[in-house]
Structure 1
């Protein structure tokens, strides 16, 4: 009888701790939502946020919207490329031929600027570095052809159980007209679910592919004024940015940043901030993303 009472008290204590933990978590999420509301007050843009902190239940803000992915879809592509290499037992230094015609002139392409003559071979690893770290559009489309096109990328990601996204346009097609920039879309949560799967599940038999992509994301040189600007210097950020042009009315289709953050104490979270249909200038869009990044970081410290 005495033992039963002790067990009952222990169960009640555990339930109370769990309940208080849930209440605290809900209150923290509500506080984060209020903070984002304050940051966005008066801003002429649609903003969506998703965060998963240490594998906990996700936090989302304005997630029920189709945000144009822009170059963020190069992360989806990178996973597809690495899966292709893994299944065919091909090394990262597998070479791809790049013809002169593959280096389109009117698009962002450090690869073209470095090798304007064309007609050379380059490793898949280097193409991925250009595509992810430098957001090179020509490298992206070369890799798309390598794996079988956008349909192959869309199919692979859906096969992982990810929903609420669509990838059906190359970078060349996205640049054909302003409205084309909306062809590849996703919710912030779907992108974070993909990032979480990448981090927490063994997606490839050979671990070298995962290690390579993690380091390539960390080496990203674009968007230093976005997620990175909201973090302390001792935090590690691996991320993929995306940015569109503007229409005649000055509206920007998308200004995005998403990735993972590692803190010095070992904790980690995934975050996506998407800014869509913005009438604000690029500096303000970046400040919105940086401000939300800072609030999410502070939220994780509570």
Structure 2
């Protein structure tokens, strides 16, 4: 069932969480007088404090699902009131929060802390798959290419595929099946196997640079990322059972806190909400991959199983959503990265890139999901105004 939440209940939940956590977004200040974006397509217009609504370049018309243009409501500027709604949701939520919304079939984008770097966690699986599909487009790989996965490849945390490897000794899968498993199930082992096959972290970074995706970093891979965040040096034995959690529990509180603080201050897998929204827009417009790979990846993302109560749950019936989630480690009730990014399509075919990233938060999981639902619900509510 789709859930549409109003701002008022969420504000009540968020303010309550702020009192308990003693932590409110550092940019929560009194908003400036409301201003509307200028009509000129090149002007950037400031909204409430910390926000910006930016007209963007003309979309690729051949990629648009329906005719659009200056006469289409919301084509050149965000609907009146949406920027203020997003600002209020952002302002009232405890912790470091980033929100970005961009109309894919239009000329505007808006954000709160849109330029700051946030931990991506499993959101970064999207860049691995994009790099793989780009290699397929270039003829350097094929979707039917076979990849062997053995015990030496096992990683940490969510890796359902590991059970097969342990039971069978090794598993051989196609690149196509690994993409499906990595994106729809957020399987860390499938993702790291794709990463190894495409050429490692440097290959993904090269793709990000080649496509000029902006403020998007790619980390060292799941094993080194999670070990470093915890304050550990990776050992392959950590991939077995709960060895990683046991080793982490043996660390001193000071060691864990220092490692976590260092990660949050300069996340090796950090990305800005605005850059991710722009990348999603370019993916939807068909300017990152071939038409075949573009259609294939969006189809895979539409089957994502993780995070059904995040952004997706805020959209009303008739809307479609394709997305990728990401969730980081916990320390002292704080989660380092709780994210959802995706492409929402209205019943009339208009598309929006929506990004919500919680860099640090002690709010309950229901409160986090309620924030995300309220953001996507606001986009749907103001659509067409």
Quickly name the TM-score band, shorter chain normalised: 0.7 to 0.9
Q: 2:219 aligns with which of 155, 168, 174?
A: 168
- The yes-or-no answer on 1:33 pairing with 2:83 is yes
Q: 1:68 aligns with which of 119, 125, 148?
A: 119
Instruction: Give, in whole Å, the separation in 2 of the partners of 1:153 and 1:135.
Output: 18
Aligned to 1:246: 330
Give the SS at the match of 1:234: coil
Q: TM-score, normalised by structure 1?
A: 0.85
Note closer, same or farther for the CA distance 1:270–1:23 as it changes in structure 2 (3 Å cut): closer
Contact 2:90 2:98 in 1 (8 A): no
Instruction: Give, in whole Å, the separation in 1 of the partners of 2:98 and 2:320.
Output: 23
Give the SS at the match of 2:333: coil
Aligned to 2:376: 293
Q: 2:294 aligns with which of 195, 199, 210?
A: 210
| Equivalent residues, number | 282
Aligned to 1:51: 101
Aligned to 2:197: 146
Contact 2:182 2:188 in 1 (8 A): yes
RMSD: 2.5
Aligned to 1:84: 135
Give the SS at the match of 2:108: coil
Gaps of 5+ in 1: 1-14
Runs of 4+ in structure 1 displaced over 6 angstroms?
21-24
Instruction: Give, in whole Å, the separation in 1 of the partners of 2:146 and 2:126.
Output: 20
- The yes-or-no answer on 1:191 pairing with 2:276 is yes
Contact 2:82 2:379 in 1 (8 A): yes
Instruction: Give, in whole Å, the separation in 2 of the partners of 1:292 and 1:233.
Output: 16
Contact 1:103 1:116 in 2 (8 A): no
Instruction: Give, in whole Å, the separation in 1 of the partners of 2:358 and 2:201.
Output: 23
Instruction: Give, in whole Å, the separation in 2 of the partners of 1:140 and 1:27.
Output: 38
Aligned to 1:8: none
Give the SS at the match of 1:161: coil
Q: TM-score, normalised by structure 2?
A: 0.68
- The yes-or-no answer on 1:124 pairing with 2:207 is no
Decide which structure has greater helix share: 1
Gaps of 5+ in 2: 1-39, 41-69, 231-259
Instruction: Give, in whole Å, the separation in 2 of the partners of 1:159 and 1:184.
Output: 18
Instruction: Give, in whole Å, the separation in 1 of the partners of 2:88 and 2:109.
Output: 21
- The yes-or-no answer on 1:234 pairing with 2:318 is yes
1:89-130 per-residue CA deviation (whole Å, 9 max, x = no partner) reads: 6431211111122123x4101212344334121000111111
Contact 2:208 2:216 in 1 (8 A): no
Give the SS at the match of 2:325: strand
